[in-house]
Amino acid sequence: MVKAVSHPFFARIYPRIIAFTEAHGSIEHRQELLAGVHGRVVEIGAGTGANFRHYPPEVTQVVAVEPEPRLRALAEKAATEAPVPVEVAAGRAEKLPLEDDGFDVAVFSLVLCTIADVPGALAEVRRVLKPGGELRFYEHVVSERSGFRRVQKVLALPWRLIGGGCHLTRDTARAIQEAGFTVEDIRRFYFLINGRANPASPSIIGTARPTT
Ligand SMILES: C[S@@+](CC[C@H](N)C(=O)[O-])C[C@H]1O[C@@H](n2cnc3c(N)ncnc32)[C@H](O)[C@@H]1O
């Protein structure tokens, strides 16, 4: 049996976190993440559906998988206002309720920090992507700077408790490569709020494809 995901506190505060980060630049990150995406898309851990309004018209369908019931309800509402057809489904990344070879693109945004079994989730993405399909990712990650990394390590536990299981110190680009993907494009940056860094500032946006 796949474990349920329930984070009532996080589900209550996350819409406010999104509104705050969007006011400081994350909308541009989401647009960058989804630029040029087309065809049938699976979005994993879609949360409130904050990405939905940024899907380009070349997208024929988004299947958005979200395990947390309160966030999923918000995603269902966002789906009704999306510019492309979006179907919201219950499910976990580690066991996607989806067919093999069904999707042109898989999208992870701010979710590989939280998923319990990252290699399992990436193996599932390989399974559901069509041959030659593409993985898009926008994630906060462990810093490449040792001093910053030390701060992230100190704050990791309280951050995880408040942040619905979010890990501050994952090297997600490496995990993607180790799961059998070739990273084709990656931009590393610090997402600063009012010019200041926070523990989740080190970020990556990029694309990868299953290594053949
Ligand atoms: C920080 S939120 C990001 C939500 C959304 N992707 C965004 O960009 O705003 C992390 C999301 O991962 C989801 N999540 C946690 N564990 C998961 C799992 N095992 N499989 C899929 N999603 C998961 C959470 O419910 C939550 O919606």
Q: Quote the pLDDT of residue 212.
A: 80
Continuous segment of H or E residues that includes residue 146: helix 146-162
Domain span including residue 167: 8-210
Encode pLDDT of 121-153 as tens digits. Answer: 999 999 999 999 999 999 999 999 999 999 999
Q: Is the CB of 139 under 6 A from ligand 1?
A: no
Residue 2 lies in a domain: no
Average pLDDT over every residue of 50-67:
98
Dihedral angle sign, alpha carbons of residues 109, 161, 170, 149? positive
Of ligand 1's listed atoms, the one at least distance from the Cα of 163 is 1
Q: Reply yes or no on whether the pLDDT at 1 is more than 90.
A: no
Query: What's the gap in Å between 156 CA and the centre of ligand 1?
Result: 18
Q: Is the CB of 67 under 6 A from ligand 1?
A: yes
Q: Reply yes or no on whether the pLDDT at 56 is more than 80.
A: yes
Query: What's the gap in Å between 130 CA and the centre of ligand 1?
Result: 23
Q: Please report, for the domain that includes residue 67, its CATH number.
A: 3.40.50.150
DSSP letter at 194?
T
Query: Which residue stretches of 65-129 are H helix?
Result: 69-80, 118-128
Residue 3 lies in a domain: no
Distance CA 118, CA 21 (A): 25
Residue 22 lies in a domain: yes
Burial class from Cβ neighbours inside 10 Å (0-12, 13-18, 19+) for residue 95 reads middle
Q: How many domains does the chain have?
A: 1
Q: Grade residue 3 by pLDDT with cuts at 50, 70 and 90.
A: low
Average pLDDT over every residue of 79-87:
98
Residue 101 lies in a domain: yes
Residue 1 lies in a domain: no
Of ligand 1's listed atoms, the one at least distance from the Cα of 165 is 15
Q: Reply yes or no on whether the pLDDT at 2 is more than 80.
A: no
